[in-house]
Amino acid sequence: MKKRTLITLVIAGTIVVAIGAAAFAGPYIYRDYLVAPAAAEPTLSASASTAGPVSSDELQGDWTVGDGSYAGYRVDEVLNDIDTTVTGRTDEVTGSLTVADATLTAARIEVDVASIATDSGSRDSYFRGTAMRTGKFPTATFVLTSPVKASAMPVTGQPQKVSAAGDLTLAGVTRSVSVELDAVFDGERGQVVGRIPITFADFAVEAPDLGFVKVEDDGFVEFSLTLEKS
């Protein structure tokens, strides 16, 4: 009887230890093994074989968003105080821009929100349905509201930083935002990358809560645009 009781106590103790270890290690397992690594932040990749000044005539006119462009979001999920960064991406991005006298005078970018995807189907379903309500608001848009003029004429292959102001529309709600942009021209095509910090509540978006894991109230809209002369 004593031996049986001892065995029972040992088994019970082992179970308690195992449960405690799972509770402690669970968030780390979720972060390190169950969630795909977050995509890198958008960076410039366009380059040129030779550097040289760009004339205003090369930039003048209408431009469109071309192949190689993408947009999406970056948020932190929290499980027992352990942060996990999640990124969603789509290449379903369209838009047009107008340059006059080396100044960006107009821009409108549109993203198919329903096509933004992560590594998790359940997360994507919540994002598209409950959070963004893509059945009613299938797209997100950014519209430039003030001209953007670079501090100097660009040089082929050399990045420039500029600031832009515009109206961002998510889930049917429009807010004025500012965004820092990195831009480069390779002699034929341009590339513009940036990230816009957002608070979900500002756009009447409920931060996803999957029960065992909660999403932070703030995040980023990220994009990389490849621009082609129309």
pLDDT at 210: 59
> Do 96 and 63 meet the contact criterion of CB atoms below 8 Å apart?
yes
What is the total residue count of the chain? Answer: 230
Mean pLDDT of 18-40: 49
- Amino acid, res. 41: E
Q: In Å, what is the CA distance from 132 to each residue of 98, 156, 170?
A: 30, 39, 8
Instruction: Report yes or no on 22 lying in a domain.
Output: no
Tens digits of residue pLDDT in 44-93: 986 655 678 888 888 999 999 999 999 999 998 876 566 788 999 999 99
Instruction: Report yes or no on 28 lying in a domain.
Output: no
More confident residue, 42 or 10: 42
Instruction: Report yes or no on 127 lying in a domain.
Output: yes
Instruction: Report yes or no on 17 lying in a domain.
Output: no
Tens digits of residue pLDDT in 138-189: 999 999 999 999 888 888 889 999 999 999 999 999 999 999 999 999 888 9
Number of domains in the chain: 1
Task: Reply yes or no on whether the pLDDT at 17 is more than 70.
Answer: no
More confident residue, 79 or 98: 98
pTM exceeding 0.85: no
pLDDT at 216: 83
More confident residue, 2 or 100: 100
∠ Cα 38 42 43 (to 5°): 130
Q: Which residue spans within 66-211 are E strands per DSSP? A: 70-79, 82-90, 93-100, 103-112, 139-144, 148-149, 160-170, 173-185, 190-199
Cα distance between residue 154 and residue 43, in whole Å: 18
Instruction: Report yes or no on 149 lying in a domain.
Output: yes
pLDDT at 209: 63
Q: Establish how many alpha carbons lie within 13 A of residue 43's alpha carbon, considering only the half-sphere containing its beta carbon.
A: 5
User: Buried b vs exposed e over 103-128: b needs ≥16 C-beta within 10 Å?
Assistant: ebeebbbbbbbbbbebebeebbebbb
More confident residue, 182 or 215: 182
Structural domain span for residue 83: 35-229
The conformation of residue 149, written as its DSSP 8-state character, comes to E
Strand pairing category for 139-144 and 93-100: unpaired
Tens digits of residue pLDDT in 107-150: 999 999 999 999 888 889 988 998 899 999 999 999 999 999 98
Cα distance between residue 42 and residue 44, in whole Å: 7
Instruction: Report yes or no on 187 lying in a domain.
Output: yes
pLDDT at 35: 53
pLDDT at 2: 47
What CATH number did the domain enclosing 202 receive? 2.40.128.110
Instruction: Report yes or no on 21 lying in a domain.
Output: no
Instruction: Report yes or no on 157 lying in a domain.
Output: yes
pLDDT at 1: 56
